[in-house]
Amino acid sequence: MSNDVYILDAVRTPIGRYGGGLAGVRPDDLAAHVVSEVVRRSPGLDPARIDDVLLGNANGAGEDNRDVARMAVLLAGLPPSVPGATVNRLCGSGLEAVIGASRAIALGDASICVAGGVESMSRAPWVLPKPEQGYPRGHETLHSTTLGWRMVNPRMPQEWTVALGEGAEILADRYKISREEQDRFAYRSHELAARAWTEGAYADEVSPVPGTNVERDESIRPDTTLGALAGLKPAFRADGTVTAGNSSPLNDGASALLLADRAGADAIGRAPLARIVSRAVTAIEPHLFGIGPVAAAEEALRRAGIGWADLDVIELNEAFAAQSLACLAEWPDLDPEIVNPQGGAIALGHPLGSSGSRILGSLAWQLQRRGGGRGLAAICIGVGQGLAVVLEA
């Protein structure tokens, strides 16, 4: 018999634009901020009682090297006795970290954990592979680690290693999703995100990073219009439909959740925001990564013993409008109006390692403000995977 696992708190940084207001902050410092903040916000928590800190990170090639979770523990001023581990499931890394921590608590291996994720795409370095022999005579190539495939194994089928945006184009073709539908979806994301900030919906979960001037998510464009979106050129195919406007941007940010079993929650003195009901991970062909959440969400619902009609809120990470709309096409019984009611990653941003924990934390806060209910968080993952978690409050 497993223990119930509760989300007691969730906090994140504002999400910075690529080269924007958080570009000057190291990723380990972004991570340390949310870890220290989620601890500070629970005065009844003795930091020495934290059994583990798990953080997701999709890069790990720069200042986020050497186990950024452990670096965050030390930089946050937690006792050195608190462990930390970094996990990588690309875009789903933050959600994977929460899933891993929740499993440890469910099995009784831990009582209190902090889990989340971090990414600074602005500060992702270029990397230079070591030559196969010393003193090469030819030119060497620097590879950007910001996003996507690099140093691809030649044994990998080419159809699997297309650019992420080309994967979105493939789904737009397969599901007959028009440019107009994608732009309307993107416009809705910006409109809802701007409204949520105006109404104070993000006040409980966002904590600005000291030393920066970023108070809100920087990528939101409250003044965008369907006409402006329609005027953008395709980004991946000359005759394509996927643009910078209906895709998520490159971003910087971090997020953290405080998880506990019932004994841990009682010791901390916090009423839970929500309970983790079920989790699921699935996989699909790499170039179809965008519909990775489809099977994961369906499996998580099955394990929870509920259906689409039982959900009140869904947080679906918006890597691309085409990708999100393809998922919705596979879920005909789902009311699309309950999906991302506070905007999604197209507007808010997609700092890879943090996005999964960001959507789960936001979902928990939304359920708490509603006075209860059920919700699902799902995310697509590059190279063809999907993750989903069901919450109940």
pLDDT at position 133: 83
User: What number of other Cβ atoms are within 10 A of residue 354's Cβ?
Assistant: 38
Instruction: Give the tens place of pLDDT for each residue, 106-165.
Output: 999 999 999 999 999 999 999 999 888 888 888 889 999 999 999 999 999 999 999 999
Q: 354, 386, 392: which is closest to 276 by C-alpha?
A: 392
Q: Which two tokens stand for residue 316?
A: 């679906």
What is the end-to-end Cα distance of the chain in Å, rounded? 21
Give the mean pLDDT of the chain.
Answer: 97
Q: Can you tell me which residue has the tokens 């109940």?
A: 392
Instruction: Give the tens place of pLDDT for each residue, 249-261.
Output: 999 999 999 999 9
113 labelled catalytic? no
At 353, the pLDDT band (50, 70, 90 cuts) reads: very high
Task: State the Cα–Cα distance between residues 223 and 30, nearest whole angstrom.
Answer: 29
Task: State the Cα–Cα distance between residues 26 and 123, nearest whole angstrom.
Answer: 7
Please tell me which residue in 33, 190, 287, 380 is annotated as part of the active site.
380
Orientation of helix 292-304 relative to helix 321-330, angle to 10°: 40
350 labelled catalytic? yes
Amino acid making up residue 26: R
Task: State the Cα–Cα distance between residues 286 and 382, nearest whole angstrom.
Answer: 7
Please tell me which residue in 91, 113, 287, 327 is annotated as part of the active site.
91
Alpha helix (H) residue ranges in the chain: 27-40, 68-75, 93-107, 164-174, 179-198, 226-230, 262-268, 292-304, 321-330, 345-348, 352-370
**3-state SS assignment for residue 348:** helix
What is the mean pLDDT of the segment spanning 330-357? 98
- List all residues 6 or more positions away from 192 whose beta carbon is below 8 Å from its beta carbon: 340, 341, 342, 343, 344, 347
The residues that bridge with 259 in the sheet, in sequence order, are 7, 113
What is the mean pLDDT of the segment spanning 361-375? 98
Please tell me which residue in 33, 190, 287, 350 is annotated as part of the active site.
350
Percent of the chain with pLDDT over 70: 100
Burial of residue 76, with CB atoms counted within 10 A of its CB: 0-12 exposed, 13-18 middle, 19 or more buried: buried
Instruction: Give the tens place of pLDDT for each residue, 267-307.
Output: 999 999 999 999 999 999 999 999 999 999 999 999 999 99
Residue 348 has pLDDT above 80, yes or no: yes
